[in-house]
Structures are given as C-alpha cells and as structure tokens.
Amino acid sequence: MRSTLKNLDELLHYPSAVIGLVVVLLLVAVSIYTVIAIPYQTAINLWRGGEETWYRNPKNAAPAWTNFFRTKKLPVTLDFNTATQPGLKTVKPSTLGESFSINIPFDFNYDAFPNELTVFFTSQYASKLPFVALAWKTPDGRTIRLQNFSITNSQNYRITQDAALQVRLNGVPVTQGLFAVPGSNPPQVLKGRYVLQILGVTFDKGDNIDAEFVSYGDLYGLAGTDYLRRDLMVALLWGTPVALAFGLLAAVGTTFTQMFIAAVSTWFGGIVDTLIQRITEVNLVLPFLPILIMIGTFYSRSIWVILTSVIVLSIFGAGIKTFRAVFMQTKEAPYIEAARAYGAGNMRVIVRYLIPRIIPLLIPQFVVLIPSFVFLEASLAVLGLGDPTLPTWGKIIDDAYTNGALFQGWYYWVLEPSALLMITGLAFSMLGFAFDRIFNPRLRGQ
C-alpha cells in the first residue's frame, strides 16, 4: 500500500502524467454525470426519436459558439411557444367563441438569413375549426400578410415553403422577402425587431389556440445537430461512458487472461508451454477485424457480444510473449525455490508469487491498451457495425462520413467526436507511459 502511495507521489513529477490523470478523471466525471442526468433509456429514446422529438432543431447546424470566431454572424435558432411562455398571447371573448391575439416579437441581428420559419399550431375546439390570420411586421414598419387558414388540433405552417407567399413577394425566396433590406442587391439582412402577429378566432366558448414559432438558424447549442436534427450533445455525452467502459473492460479482460496464460505456460513448461506457444502463433494469423466484422454481421451487433468476442480473440494475443519473457526470469528466482521447498502447490506459486511480480509490467501495458480498445469500438461503428441502440462517438463519425460531412464542410460533425476520441486516447497513453517509467525504473530516462 505504501509503495503504491509512493508511486502515486512520483507520478505527480511527470507533467504529462498529471495532465493525463486530470483528463481521465474529467472523463470519468462526465460519464457519471451523463448516466445520472440522461438515464440510459432516455438517451436511447432521444437518439432514436424522429422528427417529433427534434422538430425544434435545425438540420446540420454548427455549434452556437462558433459565431464567436466568425466575422459574419450566423443566425441561431429562435423558439417561441405561447403554451409555455406567458405574455405572448391575449384572449378576449367574442360573440361566439374567443378571439386570440398572438404577438411574437424577436430581435434579429445576424448577417445571414434563417434557414426555415415554421409555426406549429395546436388547438382544442368543440365544433368548428378555429381560424387564424398571420402577418409579418418588419423593423422598418412594413406589414406583410402571410396566410389565413383554419387549423386542426395539430397543424404546421411552414412559412418558408409557402408558394403563394413567394409569388406575393415577387418570386424571391421567402426568407429574403421577409428579412432583406428592400431593394438591396445582393440581398442584405435588415437588422432589428421583427414581429410575427397571429390573429385567431374560435367559434365556441372554451376553445383554445396555441402556437409555437421556430426560426431555424445555422447554429445550435454547444455541439450542433446532425442530419436528423438531433442534438449531437446527447451522443457526445453518452459516448463517454460507453467508450470508457468498453476500453476498460476489454483491457482488463485481455491483460488478465493473457497474464494468467503466460504464467501457466512458463510455470508448467514442456508440452503445455509448447502448446500455448503454438496457439499464440495461430492466433497471430487469425484476422482480428474481419472475424469481428463476421460476428457483427452474422450474429449480433450488441456491444456486449463484441466485447466478449474481442476478449476471447485476444486471450492468446501477442501480450503473452512479453509476459512470458518476464516470467521466465522470475521463475528462476530464489524465493520461488523457497516457496517450492515449503511445499507450495502449482496454483499457489502462480497466483501468489509469479503474478504479483508482473504487476509493475502489467499496469502500464493495461493503461496503454485502453485507448486501442476505445478506438476499436469507434472503428467498428465507422464500419457500420456499432451497437444498434447506443449513441457512441464512432457512430457520430459514421453518420457524418456517410452523409458527406467532409464534402459539405460540416467539419464540426466530424471534429467533435474525433477530438473526444483523441483526448481520451492521449490521456490514457500519457498516463500509461508515465506509469511505465515509474514501475520499470530500468527503462527510465531511455
């Protein structure tokens, strides 16, 4: 115990190890936060939810903070809902039912036009459909009539796709017609306060109208969105515990089995040793990734099946040779002979005397192995063999790649998960290399 503390103390002398350790701890903290804040089932529902979950988000929007670095500010997404935000809607009784007046004022001070404008209506009515009339007020005092129509219980009005409106706006795209400085060429955004005015009437007492207005921008939130309007933050957050758990379990599974087999191989020697050596050679020519691909395609893509296969395929991996070399030296040590002399059995010698001796070698190797498994999970996801339900970093990269993110210039979509993968990989290997120097002082300084 004391030597462990001493080692930890020594660890603090390596700046790279300290950085690695801090990052690893941060990742663990993020994982714990994620699992508590977005429980597993919620995450899966969110990630697999379609338009109805994510209709408020723009498609392929970069993170909002990128505006900070832009000279030409891109619009963010604005969302107003009369059901949840009070003060937007006033209701007065009319002769038959109620008369609604909804005013949604908003400031628009960006240099580009919004992507889409949509109003989502919900209403409760007794006998006749409520009727609404929409109008658009620009900062320079113009009022543009948009459309009048009756609404059902749930109805969307996509302002930007209204062909009749476009005709009335002299054929220019609707966003330009509504937001441009009149007569400007190329069209420029008129900055200032806009108002969307909705007048509604119902025909029975107690009827209700609610409207949600969304102006879809080019930017969204901390992480941006993908082609299905999903908030990438969900997958980025959930990717952390998945990556850490996969890397850790696979690394634990492979190192410990390999170490145990190497110990058995060296201790018993003879035919056992030869056999294990030959199996290791067979394992070397087994194509690791193609077999995993085969398992993923034919049987199951569940992360647990893949994890188990990874461990089983690595039991006789190359690590055995490294461990074996150390065990060969240790086997001849006098204290082993002493143990034999007092009558210790084979298993006792292996578990109590041989294996503890290899821990210094084991810990660095184990830590360095973690990132390779984290990347393996991502590799499988990029090949389209990721777990079908879990959102992971690799799956974001896969989505981005298959949807041409690099061709379209949606770099954030690829860079965010890649950066997280890289940070995780670097943190663990920096820590591992530092461990290596501390536990194996013979190599220190070399």
Partner 1 sequence: MHEKEKAVKPADSTLSRILKYSGVRLVSLAITVVIGLYLTILIANMGGYVDQIRKAGIELDASTRVASDPTMRNLSAAVKKQRINAIIVLEEHYYGLDQPFLVRSFTYLSDAITLNLGRALQMTSNSGSTQVRLILLERLPPTLLLFATADLILFFLALFAALALSRQYGSFIDKALIGLTPLSSAPGWFYGIFLILIFASIFKLLPFGGMTDSPPPAGRFLFILSLLKHLALPVLAITLSSIFLDIFTWRTFFLIYSSEDYVDMAKAKGLPANEIESRYILRPTLPTIITSFALLVIGVWTGAPILETIFNWPGLGRVLYQAVSEFDTPVIIGSTVIFSYLLAVTVFLLDFFYALVDPRVKIGGEKNT
- CB nearer to partner 1: give 81 or 277: 277
* 120 is a site residue for partner 1 (CB under 8 A): no
Spell out the residues 6+ positions from residue 260 whose beta carbon is closer than 8 angstroms to its own: 350, 355
* 368 is a site residue for partner 1 (CB under 8 A): yes
Spell out the residues 6+ positions from residue 272 whose beta carbon is closer than 8 angstroms to its own: 264, 265
Residue from 378, 390, 396, 420 binding partner 1 (CB under 8 A) = 378
Options 118-126, 168-176, 257-265, 285-293: segment touching partner 1 (CB under 8 A):
285-293
Options 42-50, 83-91, 113-121, 367-375: segment touching partner 1 (CB under 8 A):
367-375
CA distance linking residue 417 with residue 63, whole number of Å: 13
Nearest alpha carbon to residue 19 among 419, 434, 375 = 434
* 243 is a site residue for partner 1 (CB under 8 A): no
Handedness of CA 198, 199, 202, 207 (dihedral sign): positive
Pairing state between β 208-216 and 131-137 = unpaired
Residue from 384, 388, 440, 444 binding partner 1 (CB under 8 A) = 384
Binders of partner 1 among 307-336, rule CB under 8 A?
318
DSSP letter string over 56-69? Answer: TSPTTPBPGGGGGG
Residue from 385, 396, 420, 438 binding partner 1 (CB under 8 A) = 385
Shortest Å, Cβ 265 to partner 1: 13
- First-residue to last-residue Cα distance in the chain: 28
Pairing state between β 98-108 and 192-201 = antiparallel
CA distance linking residue 406 with residue 412, whole number of Å: 10
Shortest Å, Cβ 245 to partner 1: 18
Q: With H, G, I as helix, E, B as strand and everything else as coil, classify residue 194.
A: strand
- CB nearer to partner 1: give 142 or 278: 278
- CB nearer to partner 1: give 11 or 383: 383
Shortest Å, Cβ 283 to partner 1: 8
Residue from 141, 290, 334, 343 binding partner 1 (CB under 8 A) = 290
Long-range contacts from 264-268, C-beta under 8 angstroms, 24+ separation: 264/350, 265/320, 265/324, 265/327, 266/324, 266/327, 266/328, 266/331, 266/354, 267/327, 267/331, 267/346, 267/349, 267/350, 267/354, 268/346
**Residues comprising the chain, all counted:** 446
Options 3-11, 213-221, 347-355, 366-374: segment touching partner 1 (CB under 8 A):
366-374
* 338 is a site residue for partner 1 (CB under 8 A): no
Query: 334: exposed, middle or buried (C-beta count within 10 Å: 0-12, 13-18, 19+)?
Result: exposed
> How many other C-beta atoms lie within 10 A of the C-beta of residue 112?
16
* 291 is a site residue for partner 1 (CB under 8 A): yes
Shortest Å, Cβ 408 to partner 1: 9
Query: What binding mask, one character per residue, do residues 399-438 give for partner 1 by CB under 8 A, x or -?
Result: --x----xx-x-x--xx--x--xx--xx-xxx--x-----
- CB nearer to partner 1: give 89 or 301: 301
Structural tokens at position 352: 């109590």
- CB nearer to partner 1: give 278 or 348: 278
- CB nearer to partner 1: give 21 or 198: 21
Nearest alpha carbon to residue 311 among 232, 251, 227, 364 = 251
Options 54-62, 209-217, 264-272, 377-385: segment touching partner 1 (CB under 8 A):
377-385
Binders of partner 1 among 153-182, rule CB under 8 A?
none
Looking from the CA of 230 toward its CB, the CA atoms found within 13 Å total 21
Shortest Å, Cβ 371 to partner 1: 4
Q: Which residues bind partner 1 (CB under 8 A)?
A: 16, 277-278, 281-282, 284-291, 293-299, 318, 368, 371-372, 375, 378-379, 382-385, 397, 401, 406-407, 409, 411, 414-415, 418, 421-422, 425-426, 428-430, 433, 443, 446
